Amino acid sequence: MKVLAAMSGGVDSAVAAARAVEAGHDVVGVHLALSRMPGTLRTGSRGCCTIEDSSDAWRACETLGIPFYVWDFSSRFKEDVVDDFIAEYAAGRTPNPCMRCNEKIKFEALLEKAIALGFDAVCTGHYAELVHDDDGVPELHRAADWAKDQSYVLGVLTEDQLRHSMFPLGRTPSKEAVRAEAAERGLSVAKKPDSHDICFIPDGDTRGWLAEQIDMTSGPIVDPEGRRIGEHEGSQAYTVGQRRGLKLGHPAPDGKPRFVLEIRPKDNTVVAGPRELLEIDRITGIRLSWAGAPVAEADSGGTFDIELQIRAHADPVPARARVPQEGAAESEGPEDRRAELVVELLEPLRGVAPGQTAVMYQGTRVLGQATIDTARSRDYTPAGSVD
């Protein structure tokens, strides 16, 4: 096969490309330039897509003896990832930029260009596994090393995108094994630190970065009964479940810490209360997509058992889900009128925020995902709107 290897400049993508070459594929390496003003050097493990990363990707391709190119996707990245991130926070939601990058850049823009140029598949260093059923339909599964599993951030991929994807690291038992293999292959990135945090906010100060992008206006922080207990410097900089940075002037009657329960962008209000009010038992989702074939119940409106995961490294919880049918009467609440997925949690989740991605699993298999639209607490029903 003719394979395009997405080379981030890290050890995972380098080893993935090496395995694709070793498997006999015709491999070409490409590094995505996602910023028009990249930093010259990384700061330890912070940041990515820097000039240093591009150089590391080039050196890896030189070692593997494959062609190397840099493709400028900076305009698309700004529009589909950075601008979306800003717009979501401005609307009181909590987005996941890595999900959006995988959806819009690595497995939409990149894959579309690759196929147009005659490539059969895009190869990445994600820790996830592809399995094909008896009919050849691809399924996305967790990696063998659950500690490094990245199937959550790939939950946005569609069946067609999975047909043109390769994840050579899926069955690798550990990251240490990948680094050892890189050293054996003579790859200079064998000991390079992993990147973390949001790539376009390399210093990790999301709140400070947002303050430069969004017009922040101070407003009230209230308790669940509507009593004013403090003042914020901009509701868009908060997220549900947050504890730090509230700077409340009035201690809670029981002396316990308070957490953000709700953000109301329409009236610029933040609601804060006790931890127990963060426990969620019901979620509705929009922008539903399936990673492979949909479950049989999707067309009938029937319920199906799942495990639900709402963060990349969170533990999944048991739940029951259903896909509301168009035109069907919904009795649970007005939020169901726009829901594409309804999930009843069998174990509570805390700190669930609109805008987060809910990924559905059955065992190791990723069924699909939806963007969280509403999250209902067992003991607290938000009164605000996140339109």
DSSP 71-122: EE-HHHHIIIIIHHHHHHHHTT----HHHHHIIIIIIIIHHHHHHHTT-SEE
Asked whether residue 346 is domain-assigned, the answer is yes
CATH number at residue 153: 3.40.50.620
At 354, the amino acid letter reads P
Domain count, the chain: 3
Q: How confident is the model at residue 310 (pLDDT cuts 50, 70, 90)?
A: very high
CATH number at residue 295: 2.40.30.10
Alpha-helix runs per DSSP H in 188-329: 206-213
Q: Residues 27-47: what's their mean pLDDT?
A: 68
- Give the integer Cα–Cα distance in Å for 288 and 299: 13
- Structure tokens that stand for 367 in this block: 């069924």
Asked whether residue 47 is domain-assigned, the answer is yes
Counting residues of the chain whose pLDDT is more than 70, the rounded percentage is: 91
Q: In the prediction, which pLDDT does 333 show?
A: 54
Residues 143, 19 share a domain = yes
Contacts of 146 (CB under 8 A, 6+ apart): none
Structure letter (DSSP) for residue 298: G
Residues 122, 21 share a domain = yes
Asked whether residue 373 is domain-assigned, the answer is yes
Catalytic residue among 49, 61, 98, 199: 199
Asked whether residue 89 is domain-assigned, the answer is yes
Residues 293, 262 share a domain = no
Asked whether residue 384 is domain-assigned, the answer is no
Residues 251, 285 share a domain = no
Lowest pLDDT segment from 44-58, 122-136, 272-286: 44-58
Contact 111/117 with Cβ under 8 angstroms? no
pLDDT tens-digit map of 160-205: 999 999 999 999 999 999 999 999 999 999 999 887 668 888 778 8
pLDDT tens-digit map of 96-152: 999 999 999 999 999 999 999 999 999 999 999 999 988 889 999 999 988 899 999
Asked whether residue 37 is domain-assigned, the answer is yes
pLDDT higher for 331 or 269? 269
Residues 155, 36 share a domain = yes
Contact 124/167 with Cβ under 8 angstroms? yes
Q: In the prediction, which pLDDT does 331 show?
A: 46
Q: How confident is the model at residue 79 (pLDDT cuts 50, 70, 90)?
A: very high
Asked whether residue 196 is domain-assigned, the answer is no
Residues 63, 42 share a domain = yes
Domain extent, residue 321, equals: 278-377
Alpha-helix runs per DSSP H in the chain: 11-22, 51-64, 74-77, 83-90, 97-101, 110-116, 159-163, 175-184, 206-213
Structure letter (DSSP) for residue 59: H
pLDDT at 47 over 70: no
pLDDT tens-digit map of 314-323: 999 999 999 9
Domain boundary residue among 273, 294, 319? 273
pLDDT at 42 over 60: no
pLDDT higher for 91 or 21? 21
Q: In the prediction, which pLDDT does 376 show?
A: 85
Q: How confident is the model at residue 387 (pLDDT cuts 50, 70, 90)?
A: very low
Counting residues of the chain whose pLDDT is more than 90, the rounded percentage is: 67
Distances (CA, A) of 27 to 55, 111, 125, 141, 204: 18, 15, 14, 24, 35
Residues 232, 124 share a domain = no
Contact 56/13 with Cβ under 8 angstroms? no
Residues 163, 45 share a domain = yes
Angle at 316 between CA 298 and CA 314, to 5 degrees: 130
Domain boundary residue among 184, 201, 227? 184
pLDDT higher for 370 or 377? 370
- Give the integer Cα–Cα distance in Å for 272 and 222: 6
Residues 282, 153 share a domain = no
Q: In the prediction, which pLDDT does 200 show?
A: 86
At 74, the amino acid letter reads S
Residues 19, 110 share a domain = yes
CATH number at residue 264: 2.30.30.280
Angle at 170 between CA 168 and CA 171, to 5 degrees: 105
Angle at 317 between CA 314 and CA 323, to 5 degrees: 115
Q: How confident is the model at residue 75 (pLDDT cuts 50, 70, 90)?
A: very high
- Structure tokens that stand for 306 in this block: 């799942």
Q: Residues 274-279: what's their mean pLDDT?
A: 90
Q: How confident is the model at residue 40 (pLDDT cuts 50, 70, 90)?
A: very low
Q: Residues 24-47: what's their mean pLDDT?
A: 72
Residues 256, 284 share a domain = no
Q: Residues 286-308: what's their mean pLDDT?
A: 95
Catalytic residue among 49, 98, 101, 123: 101
pLDDT at 29 over 80: yes
Catalytic annotation on 61? no
Q: In the prediction, which pLDDT does 325 show?
A: 87
Q: How confident is the model at residue 41 (pLDDT cuts 50, 70, 90)?
A: very low
Asked whether residue 386 is domain-assigned, the answer is no
Catalytic annotation on 98? no
Residues 294, 221 share a domain = no
Contact 312/383 with Cβ under 8 angstroms? no
Q: How confident is the model at residue 46 (pLDDT cuts 50, 70, 90)?
A: very low
- Structure tokens that stand for 94 in this block: 């909590």
